[in-house]
Structure formats: structure tokens, C-alpha cells
């Protein structure tokens, strides 16, 4: 028997494609659910994803591609979901196969809008998957750099250390180093919040603030992230570990970040609608800022940056005015 379990990745975006690539470094066969049949045909013929991360080349013989989600659920022991949170519920609703006893890892950054829960909680509370079978794959990791095989570090969080180790082994390679963690809740919230802070960084840049301010914004963001997560799930964690601070920085500072790009357009005067139309990818932070705002009503933490982003994106407030006020609250 292989030392690796049967793994399937669910999603056709850039992060899903990157995870399939990582798995292909170790596994003889990788399951890959892609909704669109035309995309599957294209991948089979051209050995890369036509829409996202097209520079990542695959050996087709390693791929078990299917547009039938139930077939893929039945195939795998480990299901890795990398579908944007805004669409995940629609996809999960299609599943009729029993999977509550399988290992479920989420590579999704965000909250499931329909339940208001982070993905791990949703699987546990709504779909009866035991918490010990649920894990999270987190950055700091831009998919684009995985395609280029540039050294990247992942954090694999699961309450069951053995399962975290198992998935770590599947993903590690000469360009991927992994670290395991038992803070699945904190890791998920960090992955969600960092997108909001990246939007804030983008707005600041779009408004003409410079590098000096950017560093103050990031320094305040990590403190805000710590306060927010502590209110949701209190445990001993070092917020400066790569899964929290590293993930914030790679998103807040990188040119690859679609959230930062989205914020930048807002700062430059685009409306939310026009900025969204201009981008072909979803800015997860848009949905995250609404969810964070809602969550923070219960046992609230002080979150001036999240509040500012929410006011701009959902309350039609003027970015310049909101940020002027925000600068008074930072230090």
C-alpha cells in the first residue's frame, strides 16, 4: 500500500490548481474535481488549466479529473476543498455521497455566507463531520509562486496531529515546506481577516499613502487580527507565526494579491461594482469584511481597520474621509 492516502482536490481556481501541483510531486494519482467539463477537456489536451495558473504543467496520467463531484467524493479518503467561499455551499449541496467519516481539509479563505461560519465550523456544525477529521491548509503562499516552484511554507492545521502530518507529507516537496498546528480556528480566521487588511492596504495605496503608512497599517492590522481571533477562540498562539503574520504580509504587500488590487481600485475612485467587474477573480476580502463585521457584534474586539473597510464597501462611505479618520485611530 502507498504511504499516501487517496486525495482529491475540489475547485478549478488558481489555489486549487496549485494544490494539485503540490500533490503531484508525491502521489501517483490525484483526484481533481472541476465543475466545468470544457475546462477538463482543455486540461486533458493541453496539460494545464486554461483559466488559472496556466504555467503549471501536469502529467495527465497522474490526474483523475471529473466534473462529477459525487464520483470524486467516493474516490478519495482525503477531500481538499479550494472553492471560493461564496460558491462552496452550492457545490456542497450537490453531494449525496456520505463523507462525514472522510478527512476534510479546507484551503478556502473566508466565511460561508449562508451559515456565517468559517469552513471548518460549517463542516462540523452543519455537515456533522467530527472536528478531529477537519483541517486547514494555510499560507503564506501565493499560488503563482507555487507554479514557479519558488520556496513556500504552508501551515497544516488539524486538532488530530497525525492527520496534519499525513497531509503535510502529501504536500511537502523541494519547494514546499510545511508546518503543522492545532489551531484550526485561529488559522482559518487569520486567512479570512488578512484579505480585509489587504483591501485596506490597497485602498491606502490607491489614496496615495506611502510605504511609511503602509507599515503602520500592517503593524496595526496584526494587532487587530490578534484581538479579533482571541475573542472568537482563546488559546495560546504566537500571532507572529507564518500562518498569521506571514499570511498577512504576503497578501498585504504582494502584487499578486487580488484583494490588494481590489482595494487599490476602490482607493483610486472605482465603485465596488465597477472594481468587481474589472477583475476576473473574486476578492474574498469583500465578503469577509461583511462577515467579520457581523461576527464582531458578539463579544466585540476593537477593529478600526475592518470597520473602515466595511464602511467603504458596504455603506458607500467616501474612502478618503474614512481613511482620514482611520489614521487618527492607528499608532
Which residues in this chain contact its own copies in the complex, by CB under 8 A?
139-142, 145-146, 148, 150-153, 177, 179, 208-216, 218-220, 222-223, 226, 238-242, 245-247, 249-250, 253-256, 327, 330-331
Nearer to its own copies, 84 or 140 (CB): 140
The residue among 26, 61, 72, 71 whose CA lies nearest residue 167 is 26
CB of 149 to its own copies, least distance (A): 10
CB of 138 to its own copies, least distance (A): 12
Q: Where are the beta strands (DSSP E) in the chain?
A: 7-10, 30-33, 63-66, 78-81, 103-106, 111-112, 117-118, 134-138, 152-158, 176-181
The residue among 93, 76, 78, 104 whose CA lies nearest residue 35 is 93
CB of 176 to its own copies, least distance (A): 10
Residue 189 CB-half CA count within 13 A: 23
The residue length of the chain stands at 331
Nearer to its own copies, 20 or 129 (CB): 20
CB of 156 to its own copies, least distance (A): 12
**CA–CA dist 292, 231 (Å, integer):** 12
CB of 248 to its own copies, least distance (A): 8
Q: Would you tell me the crossing angle of helices 211-232 and 184-207 to the nearest 10 degrees?
A: 150
Nearer to its own copies, 256 or 270 (CB): 256
CB of 242 to its own copies, least distance (A): 5
Q: Would you tell me the crossing angle of helices 304-314 and 184-207 to the nearest 10 degrees?
A: 60
Nearer to its own copies, 31 or 319 (CB): 319
The residue among 142, 176, 138 whose CA lies nearest residue 157 is 138
CB of 217 to its own copies, least distance (A): 9
**CA–CA dist 327, 331 (Å, integer):** 8
> Which residues lie across from 137 on neighbouring strands?
156
Nearer to its own copies, 129 or 157 (CB): 157
Nearer to its own copies, 107 or 222 (CB): 222
CB of 237 to its own copies, least distance (A): 13
**CA–CA dist 285, 127 (Å, integer):** 25
| Sheet with 176-181, edge to edge strand ranges | 63-66, 30-33, 7-10, 78-81, 103-106, 134-138, 152-158, 176-181
Nearer to its own copies, 51 or 254 (CB): 254
Nearer to its own copies, 209 or 270 (CB): 209
75, 8 Cβ separation under 8 angstroms:
yes
The residue among 157, 109, 108 whose CA lies nearest residue 134 is 157
The residue among 186, 295, 317 whose CA lies nearest residue 248 is 186
Amino acid at each position: 500500500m502507498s504511504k499516501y492516502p487517496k486525495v482529491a482536490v475540489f475547485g478549478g481556481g488558481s489555489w486549487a490548481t496549485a494544490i494539485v501541483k503540490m500533490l503531484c510531486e508525491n502521489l501517483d494519482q490525484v483526484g481533481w474535481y472541476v465543475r466545468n467539463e470544457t475546462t477538463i477537456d482543455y486540461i486533458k489536451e493541453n496539460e494545464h488549466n486554461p483559466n488559472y495558473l496556466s504555467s503549471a504543467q501536469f502529467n495527465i496520467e497522474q490526474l483523475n479529473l471529473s466534473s462529477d463531484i459525487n464520483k470524486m467524493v467516493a474516490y478519495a479518503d482525503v477531500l481538499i476543498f479550494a472553492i471560493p467561499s461564496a460558491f462552496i455551499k452550492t457545490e456542497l449541496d450537490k453531494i449525496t455521497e456520505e463523507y462525514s467519516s472522510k478527512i476534510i481539509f479546507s484551503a478556502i479563505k473566508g466565511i460561508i455566507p449562508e451559515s456565517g461560519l468559517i469552513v471548518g465550523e460549517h463542516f462540523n456544525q452543519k455537515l456533522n463531520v467530527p472536528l478531529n477529521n477537519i483541517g486547514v491548509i494555510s499560507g503564506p503562499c501565493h499560488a503563482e509562486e507555487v507554479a514557479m516552484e519558488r520556496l513556500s511554507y504552508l501551515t497544516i492545521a488539524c486538532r488530530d496531529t497525525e492527520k496534519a502530518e499525513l497531509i503535510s507529507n502529501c504536500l511537502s516537496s523541494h519547494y514546499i515546506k510545511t508546518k503543522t498546528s492545532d489551531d484550526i480556528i485561529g488559522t482559518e480566521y487569520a486567512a479570512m481577516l488578512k484579505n480585509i487588511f489587504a483591501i485596506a492596504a490597497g485602498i491606502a495605496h490607491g489614496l496615495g499613502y506611502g510605504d511609511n503608512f503602509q507599515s503602520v497599517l500592517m503593524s496595526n492590522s496584526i494587532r487587530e487580527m490578534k484581538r479579533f481571533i482571541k475573542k472568537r477562540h482563546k488559546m495560546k498562539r504566537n500571532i507572529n507565526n507564518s500562518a498569521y503574520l506571514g499570511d498577512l504580509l504576503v497578501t498585504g504587500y504582494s502584487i499578486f494579491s487580488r484583494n490588494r488590487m481590489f482595494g487599490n481600485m476602490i482607493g483610486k475612485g472605482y465603485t465596488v461594482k465597477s472594481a468587481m467587474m474589472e477583475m476576473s477573480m473574486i476578492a474574498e476580502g469583500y465578503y469577509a469584511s461583511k462577515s467579520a463585521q457581523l461576527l464582531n457584534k458578539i463579544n466585540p474586539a476593537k477593529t478600526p481597520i475592518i470597520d473602515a473597510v466595511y464602511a467603504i464597501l458596504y455603506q458607500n462611505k467616501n474612502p478618503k474621509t474614512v481613511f482620514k479618520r482611520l489614521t487618527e485611530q492607528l499608532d
